[in-house]
Structure 1
Amino acid sequence: MDFVAARKVMVDSQVRVNDVTNRVLHAAMGSVERERFCAPERAFSAYADVMPEITADRRLMLPRDMGKLLEGAEAKAGEKALVVVGPYAAAVLAKMGLNVTVQDSNPDVFAVTGEALADYGVETVVAPLTEVSGEGYDVIVSEAAVPARQDAWIAALAPNGRLVVVERTGPAGKAVLYVKGEEAVSRRELFDAAPDILGELAPAPAFAL
């Protein structure tokens, strides 16, 4: 399979046409080898309009959704970024010139993607998703959806830092942008999306007598 040609088609037919206008992002997505960030037996589907499997409980985000999410983050070269559950997004941000750490609670993800992440200069951390590795991030991104606002992630942002993530509790969700101001946090909805929900972040059930 000609992955180089498939990569160009992905950017042209799934990313550019969906109001993603950042040319630096186009170039990064057109360069990063997405096939290295999914299970080897799923490499053939890396550039299709699907979410290919990384491990049994992790999949890549749709190219269209990830492009729109990263554009919403307004990431800039030299910024410090954390990607939660998103090895491909981490590599794309690194290609854009950011200093990137990717965190996941499942070490099997890095067994699949670790070599590629190292090639792109991305630091990897295995830790529970409720605990953020580090602080002072300019950008935090997740390729998977969360069932509710993640205050621990927002707390790890630097002043004027941005968190982009899909919030989803049902069949569809909303990609949202949080911006951490000096005294408050703003929230803006960006677009509809439905990546897999991180079940480990679901609130504990409450029981009433």
Structure 2
Amino acid sequence: MSIDFARARENMVEQQVRPWDVLDVRVLDTLATLPREAFVADALRGLAYADTALPVGHGEAMMKPVLEGRALQALLPTDADSVLEIGAGSGYLTACLGRLAREVVAIERHADLAEAAQARLAAQGIGNATVLAADAFAWNPGRGFDAICVGGAVAAIPARFVEWLNPGGRLFVVHGLAPAMEAALVHRTVNGTRVESLFETDLPYLAGAEPVPAFTL
């Protein structure tokens, strides 16, 4: 049985994303037109628009569509913004960011995932996004960004990520201890940083950002 992906995409936007208070027209248009099924494994294409996280390999997963929508709306990149994505995975959110921003640099610690994500971006004609094979805790961009999207949870917000923000920049991150994590938008201001709480959620940890095991006797 063939799947009507266009209808599934419309249902995802109208029944999952929009009811979760994602109302920005540019974000909704991006989600409604970008083929999410092109960014998942062939065996999972039938689940491309389901309200669930999907595995991409190496124990990593794509966020649920609603979480992707909320991340995009929180950051709201414009065509003047440079964006860094930490944890590219399949490249789907990279592609969404590329549709909204001036340029996107994405890092992915698994070289095969980074290569596959770059190929998917090229197939969709998204030429302003680059996926690099790099570990966020060993890599240094040597520059700043207007917006940063962290694709995995962190026990505590890494100072190095905040330092990569340009003045006035913002960072979307899910932080805390499972299962009661908090999505937040970190603003870099002239006076330092301000953390804006967005909503509660749960997300697998970014490699290297897991909680430190508690010492017990």
TM beyond 0.5: yes
Which region of structure 1 is more displaced relative to structure 2, 12-21 or 31-40? 31-40
Alignment of 1:144-163 (within 5 A): 144-163=152-171
- 2:131 alignment partner in structure 1: 124
Q: Secondary structure at the match of 1:186?
A: strand
- Give the superposition deviation at 1:206: 8.1
> What is the rounded CA distance, in whole Å, between the counterparts of 2:142 and 2:33 in structure 1?
28
Structure 1 stretches of 4+ with a deviation exceeding 4 A read 203-209
- 1:16 alignment partner in structure 2: 18
Q: Which letter maps to 2:47?
A: S
Alignment of 1:4-153 (within 5 A): 4-86=6-88, 87-118=91-122, 119-121=125-127, 122-130=129-137, 131-153=139-161
- Give the superposition deviation at 1:208: 9.9
- Give the superposition deviation at 1:204: 5.5
**What is the number of residues matched between the two proteins?**
209
> What is the rounded CA distance, in whole Å, between the counterparts of 2:141 and 2:41 in structure 1?
25
Q: Which letter maps to 2:177?
A: T
> What is the rounded CA distance, in whole Å, between the counterparts of 1:195 and 1:170 in structure 2?
8
Q: Which letter maps to 1:120?
A: I
Structure 1, unpaired ranges of 5+ = none
Contact 1:173/1:193 (CA < 8 Å) preserved in 2?
yes
Which region of structure 1 is more displaced relative to structure 2, 96-105 or 11-20? 96-105
Structure 2, unpaired ranges of 5+ = none
Q: Secondary structure at the match of 1:149?
A: coil
Q: Secondary structure at the match of 1:101?
A: strand
Closer, same or farther in 2 for the Cα pair 1:4/1:80, shift >3 Å?
same
Which region of structure 1 is more displaced relative to structure 2, 109-118 or 58-67? 109-118
- Give the superposition deviation at 1:165: 0.9
Q: Percent identity?
A: 28
